[in-house]
Amino acid sequence: MATSINSSALGWKHSSFFVQSNNGFNVASPPFKPKPPRSSNFSLYCSAASSSSDPLLVKAARGDPVSRPPAWMMRQAGRYMAVYKNLAEKYPSFRERSETTELIVEISLQPWKAFRPDGVIIFSDILTPLPAFGVDFDIEEVRGPVIHSPIHSEEGLKVLHPIDLDRLKFVGDSLKILRREVGGHAAVLGFVGAPWTIATYIVEGGTTRTYTTIKSMCHTAPHVLRTLLSHLTQAIADYAIFQVESGAHCIQIFDSWGGQLPPEMWECWSKSYIKEIVNLVKKKCPEVPIVLYINGNGGLLERMKDTGVDVIGLDWTVDMADGRRRLGSGISVQGNVDPAYLFSPLDALTEEIQRVVRCAGPRRHILNLGHGVLVGTPEEAVAHFFEVARSLQFETLFQNNTAKDPNLVT
């Protein structure tokens, strides 16, 4: 999503698991103009220390003992839900749905009200902050996100400026309300895109299947690309801190297209910038867990660990037992049920959930899918996923397994 997370609402190949934008969408419905920003006056959640009252997901991310694996789903809000489709008919402009605080909150809470996941992620998109630092874009019905002035040269870099967080006030306001609405019963999740993934859109001008323009730029104009990535790093770090200060318990970084790079190139063109974001966020908000997810990350796990994040999200192509072995017991993992299992018989889904949890071990695991919820997923399967998750107890599940497997985290 790029990935993100509530973006299953859209038919085109969009930028993130959740799609949200800030400026200039080209859609069939009448243009939507967001209300002018008001002055920021948010609570400083960054200063909060670890507490026994923290949500289950936060405890698991930090490695604290928990009785069961917390569970949420990438793209857990979106058009597989009838209630979302009804709302989309009433508000056909995606921009309006994703830039109006009341609608963002309503959509974000739809799966919370229906399934009671342990994490509630804001309905948004990794491209949301672009206009706030100088990159305007549209969303077209067929093409998806479109950047009409891609950056390929030093001249193109001149449009960039420090991020203006006042232009993202609807994000901050939404997180504050979500924090209040879920109370201590679930973690409120914010997210950002990694610099490389964001840069693919800015350089390619939108979605791409080949990434040839930006990959060739690594060799033909490396100074331009590094300047762009450095600017994105600071802007994204500021945006992540803003989300935490507005109420997010946890931040997930989506390097959705990082998996399109060979490992050595990812090390050079993505990892160092992610690591700097983590350092900047941790300096201001040391207790906030950070998750890193890359689609197609089987060849990058050990390198991902070196970014300093607290949690590594595994996609469904990585065997959880192998991932846990490679990463060790000192870092948390998230995932990684194949989203297609939600179309299988419920007994098969139950068995797969239990298998993933056993392979992950009784500590430092957040149960999730290995990618976002697919369009057309039966809502009853999503409900069953969370029912099974709530029924699991580590004490029972691992009472006979710990002695057999020394690699399990105890």
| pLDDT surpasses 90 at 173 | yes
Tokens of 252: 């997930």
- Decide: pTM greater than 0.85: yes
pLDDT at 364 (0 to 100): 97
The whole-chain average pLDDT of the chain stands at 88
pLDDT tier at 19 (50, 70, 90 boundaries)?
very low
pLDDT at 27 (0 to 100): 32
pLDDT tier at 50 (50, 70, 90 boundaries)?
low
pLDDT tier at 127 (50, 70, 90 boundaries)?
very high
**Buried/exposed 6-25: b ≥16 CB within 10 Å, e otherwise:** bbbbbeeebbbbbbbbbbeb
C-alpha–C-alpha distance, residues 33 and 53, integer Å: 40
| pLDDT surpasses 70 at 86 | yes
Find the mean pLDDT for residues 108-128.
96
In CATH terms, is domain 56-392 a member of 3.90.1150.10? no
pLDDT at 345 (0 to 100): 98
Q: pLDDT exceeding 70 applies to what percent of the chain? A: 85
pLDDT (tens digit per residue) in 202-250? 999 999 999 999 999 999 999 999 999 999 999 999 999 999 999 999 9
pLDDT at 21 (0 to 100): 36
Query: Which residues does 383 contact at the CB level (< 8 Å), separation at least 6?
Result: 114, 115
**What is the secondary structure of 31-76 as a DSSP string?**
P--PPPP-------GGGPPP-TTS-HHHHHHHT---SS--B--TT-
pLDDT (tens digit per residue) in 318-365? 999 999 999 999 999 999 999 999 999 999 999 999 999 999 999 999
Q: Would you kindly state where each structural domain of the chain is located, as residue ranges?
A: 56-392
Contact 50, 249 (CB under 8 A): no
C-alpha–C-alpha distance, residues 17 and 144, integer Å: 14
C-alpha–C-alpha distance, residues 131 and 21, integer Å: 9
Q: What are phi and psi of 188, to 5 degrees?
A: -90, 125
96 vs 317, more confident: 317
Nearest to 299 by CA among 258, 354, 334, 343: 258
pLDDT (tens digit per residue) in 357-407? 999 999 999 999 999 999 999 999 999 999 999 999 999 998 755 544 544
pLDDT at 93 (0 to 100): 76
Find the mean pLDDT for residues 59-78.
96
